[in-house]
């Protein structure tokens, strides 16, 4: 019994010392050999597994290699891990200088046996990330990946990635990219290829966005890059920016990272998730610089009416705010709903409209998005200088992906088939909406666009106080991955987001599993 405890203690100290130095078993074996000792592979793995304790001479060798005290390593109580004889950084440098090496290999060996045995300081992430949240790929996702690594199958309803669910890129887009690949080897203009920007400009004209020329258009590695770029270009420390709640969390994350202060305005579930204009106005202060509109909305699937958009424009006009409008789902509207670009209603205000091909053309992986500066450009001259500087600094966006923008935006739009009756997105939306509302304790507003639904849970019935725990419990029990409502900067623990991209059969099974899970669920 006593021996077992000793072995365990030795193994645990050995593993700690190795982890602290970032060493694997093979590194220890190699360094022992470099130091003139002998250590076999199976011997080492037995030590790590706690199956045996080394002889004193081997323990001394291990201690030397790891730069720890041998007695401590062997499990003695009251000892310190630090080896008085372990070389400090300074002495390691001194030793290196006094034993000059003649070859590169010698230098590497020498470095390995001196510097690597010195405990390494820890590198912590920047405190700028302290309040940054991106739970679409957060801790629950990490747990799902760990489960997958163990061989378990997970149904991922957490991310709006069309390709894995059989939504294929239109053939013409692939064909055209192939044709142009050899012409896309160099950097492009930092804003993007002329032909791509011209096509985006024409698209802006069709959406009645005023005062747009080719120069007002920037391509990006997805809308994601441009959101980050704009937040960095605009926000000084403490500047406030109005962002919807729930939101697509990248907006809040990038505003925070840029040093800004995101202030969330409520989108009202009772009013089909429309922005609450009174709430917006109540949150405007002298530090508010801009308002973000996500229309069509992720995660709710709402599309805003002319009245609502005009209301937002009036507030922006009254309080002199810039408007950032994320319209990446504008071609995925259903039920005959017509999408209106807010910039078309605000020719006198500084506006930036974002869109891209990730969702409408099912090429999220190619990474191509854009932004269009419109309206009052005079008042955003300085901001534009900042945008240009940041755009130049990243050289340009992915050029092969830019080369298909013209093809994608012109001519027949295959995405329209998906969102009309009989189309996959349309039928899956109808099914998931009905199925969720049929579950006792779940209600959901019918989405009008995109491929997300944001259902509400009866927190009293399920005793839910922690939405991350809910998502984890569902993952563990049913192997279904969803994103918790809090991941979209929604304050209460009563929502989650479902991506309804999977084919009907899979979706049906997922909804049945969810219903089964909730039929007995009560959070502890």
Q: Hey, which residues does 266 pair with through a beta bridge?
A: 245
Please say which residue, 362 or 510, places its beta carbon nearer to ligand PLP: 362
- CA-based torsion, 296, 217, 227, 403: positive or negative: positive
Q: Centre a 10 Å sphere on the Cβ of residue 110 and count the other Cβ atoms it contains.
A: 17
Q: How many residues bind ligand PLP (CB under 6 A)?
A: 13
**Smallest separation (angstroms) from ligand PLP to the CB of 148:** 21
Please say which residue, 221 or 305, places its beta carbon nearer to ligand PLP: 221
Structure tokens at 373: 């500066």
358 scored as a contact of ligand PLP (CB under 6 A): yes
CA-to-CA distance for 177 and 401, rounded, in angstroms? 7
326 scored as a contact of ligand PLP (CB under 6 A): yes
CA-to-CA distance for 257 and 163, rounded, in angstroms? 30
Residue from 67, 138, 160, 262 binding ligand PLP (CB under 6 A): 160
Please say which residue, 54 or 220, places its beta carbon nearer to ligand PLP: 220
Say whether the peptide bond before residue 299 is cis (omega within 30 degrees of 0): yes
Q: Is 370 helix (H, G, I), strand (E, B) or coil?
A: strand
Alpha-carbon 297 to chain mean position: 17
Please say which residue, 39 or 432, places its beta carbon nearer to ligand PLP: 432
Structure tokens at 69: 């005290």
Q: Compute the residue count for the chain.
A: 524
Alpha-carbon 394 to chain mean position: 20
Please say which residue, 31 or 449, places its beta carbon nearer to ligand PLP: 449
252 scored as a contact of ligand PLP (CB under 6 A): no
Residue from 117, 224, 228, 288 binding ligand PLP (CB under 6 A): 224
**Smallest separation (angstroms) from ligand PLP to the CB of 440:** 30
CA-to-CA distance for 489 and 456, rounded, in angstroms? 15
Residue 168 half-sphere exposure, CB side, CA atoms within 13 Å?
4
Query: 155 in the Ramachandran plot: left (φ > 0), alpha (ψ -120 to 50) or beta?
Result: beta
74 scored as a contact of ligand PLP (CB under 6 A): no
Site for ligand PLP in 174-193 (CB under 6 A): none
Opening angle at CA 295, ends 263 and 475, nearest 5: 80
CA-to-CA distance for 154 and 474, rounded, in angstroms? 11
Site for ligand PLP in 270-299 (CB under 6 A): 294, 298
369 scored as a contact of ligand PLP (CB under 6 A): yes
What 8-state DSSP symbol labels residue 497? E
Opening angle at CA 30, ends 27 and 34, nearest 5: 135
223 scored as a contact of ligand PLP (CB under 6 A): yes
**Smallest separation (angstroms) from ligand PLP to the CB of 115:** 41
CA-to-CA distance for 179 and 198, rounded, in angstroms? 20
**Smallest separation (angstroms) from ligand PLP to the CB of 351:** 16
Please say which residue, 298 or 407, places its beta carbon nearer to ligand PLP: 298
162 scored as a contact of ligand PLP (CB under 6 A): no
**CB 64, CB 35: distance < 8 Å:** yes
* Residue with the CB atom nearest ligand PLP in the bound state: 222
CA terminus-to-terminus distance, the chain: 38
**Smallest separation (angstroms) from ligand PLP to the CB of 442:** 23
353 scored as a contact of ligand PLP (CB under 6 A): no
- Interface with ligand PLP by CB under 6 A: which range of 76-84, 115-123, 140-148, 221-229? 221-229
248 scored as a contact of ligand PLP (CB under 6 A): yes
328 scored as a contact of ligand PLP (CB under 6 A): yes
**Smallest separation (angstroms) from ligand PLP to the CB of 192:** 14
Residue from 356, 375, 455, 487 binding ligand PLP (CB under 6 A): 356
Please say which residue, 248 or 383, places its beta carbon nearer to ligand PLP: 248
67 scored as a contact of ligand PLP (CB under 6 A): no
Q: Is 478 helix (H, G, I), strand (E, B) or coil?
A: helix
- Interface with ligand PLP by CB under 6 A: which range of 113-121, 216-224, 280-288, 441-449? 216-224
Give the binding site for ligand PLP (CB under 6 A).
160, 222-224, 248, 294, 298, 326, 328, 356, 358, 364, 369
């Amino acid at each position: 019994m006593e021996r077992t405890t000793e072995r365990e203690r030795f193994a645990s100290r050995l593993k700690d010392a190795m982890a602290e130095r970032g060493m694997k078993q093979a590194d220890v074996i190699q360094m022992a050999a470099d130091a003139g000792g002998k250590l076999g592979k199976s011997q080492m793995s037995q030590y790590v597994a706690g199956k045996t304790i080394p002889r004193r001479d081997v323990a001394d060798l291990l201690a030397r290699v790891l730069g720890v005290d041998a007695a401590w390593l062997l499990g003695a109580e009251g000892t310190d891990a630090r080896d008085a004889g372990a070389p400090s950084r300074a002495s390691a440098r001194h030793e290196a200088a006094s034993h000059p090496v003649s070859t590169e290999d010698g230098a590497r060996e020498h470095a390995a046996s001196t510097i690597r045995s010195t405990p390494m300081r820890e590198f912590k992430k920047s405190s700028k990330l302290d309040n940054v949240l991106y739970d679409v790929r957060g801790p629950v996702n990490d747990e799902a990946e760990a489960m997958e690594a163990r061989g378990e199958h997970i149904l991922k309803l957490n991310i709006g990635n069309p390709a894995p669910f059989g939504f294929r890129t239109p053939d013409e887009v692939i064909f055209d990219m192939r044709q142009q690949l050899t012409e896309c080897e160099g950097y492009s203009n930092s804003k993007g290829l002329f032909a791509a920007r011209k096509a985006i400009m024409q698209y802006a004209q069709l959406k009645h966005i005023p005062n747009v020329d080719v120069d007002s258009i920037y391509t990006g590695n997805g809308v994601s890059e441009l959101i980050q770029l704009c937040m960095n270009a605009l926000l000084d420390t403490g500047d406030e920016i109005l962002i919807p709640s729930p939101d697509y969390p990248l907006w809040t994350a990038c505003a925070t990272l840029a040093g800004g202060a995101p202030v969330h305005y409520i989108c009202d579930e009772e009013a089909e998730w429309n922005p609450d204009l009174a709430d917006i106005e109540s949150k405007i202060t002298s530090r508010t610089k801009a308002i973000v509109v996500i229309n069509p909305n992720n995660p709710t699937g709402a599309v805003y009416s002319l009245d609502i958009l005009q209301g937002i424009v009036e507030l922006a006009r009254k309080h002199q705010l810039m408007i950032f409008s994320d319209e990446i789902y504008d071609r995925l509207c259903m039920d005959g709903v017509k999408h209106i670009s807010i910039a078309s209603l605000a020719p006198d205000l500084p506006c930036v409209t974002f869109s891209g091909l990730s969702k409408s053309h099912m090429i999220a992986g190619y990474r191509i998005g854009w932004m269009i500066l419109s309206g009052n450009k005079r008042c955003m001259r300085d901001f534009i200088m900042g945008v240009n500087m940041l755009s130049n600094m990243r050289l340009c966006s992915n050029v092969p992906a830019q080369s298909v923008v013209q093809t994608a935006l012109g001519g027949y739009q295959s995405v329209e088939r998906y969102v009309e009756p009989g189309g996959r997105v349309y039928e899956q939306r109808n099914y998931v909406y009905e199925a969720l509302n049929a579950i006792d304790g779940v209600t959901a507003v019918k989405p009008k666009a995109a491929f997300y639904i944001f259902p509400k849970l009866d927190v009293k019935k399920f005793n839910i106080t922690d939405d991350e725990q809910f998502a984890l419990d569902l993952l563990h029990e049913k192997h279904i991955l969803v994103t918790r409502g809090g991941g979209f900067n929604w304050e209460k623990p009563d929502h989650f987001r479902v991506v309804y991209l999977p084919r009907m059969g899979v979706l049906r099974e997922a909804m049945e599993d969810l219903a089964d899970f909730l039929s007995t669920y009560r959070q502890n």
